[in-house]
Amino acid sequence: MRLAVFGATGQLGRQCVRQALDADHSVAVLARTPAKINDDLRRRVDIVEGDALHADDVRAVLEGADAVLFAIGVDKHSPEDLCTDVTRSIAEAMPELGVGRFVWCGGGSTFVPGDPGNVGARFVRMFAATFLGKRHRDKDHQLAYLLTRTDLDWFGVRPLQMRKGELTGAYRLGMDGFSGRSRISFADCAHAMIGMLDDDTWRHRAPIIQY
The per-residue pLDDT for 210 is 96
Architecture of domain 2-210: 3-Layer(aba) Sandwich (3.40)
For the chain, give every domain's residue range: 2-210
Q: How are beta strands 208-210 and 172-174 bridged, if at all?
A: antiparallel
Tallying the residues shown for the chain, one arrives at: 211
pLDDT, tens digit, 9 for 90 and up, residues 76-97: 889 999 999 999 999 999 999 9
146's CB contacts (< 8 A; 6+ apart) are 87, 91, 102, 104, 152, 154, 156
Amino acid at 39: D
The per-residue pLDDT for 128 is 67
Chain-centroid distance, C-alpha 112: 16
pTM: 0.93
Spans of the chain below 70 pLDDT: 125, 128-129, 131-132
The per-residue pLDDT for 126 is 76
DSSP string of 13-78, one letter each residue: HHHHHHHHHHTT-EEEEEES-GGGS-HHHHTTSEEEES-TTSHHHHHHHHTT-SEEEE-----TTS
pLDDT, tens digit, 9 for 90 and up, residues 53-69: 999 999 999 999 999 99
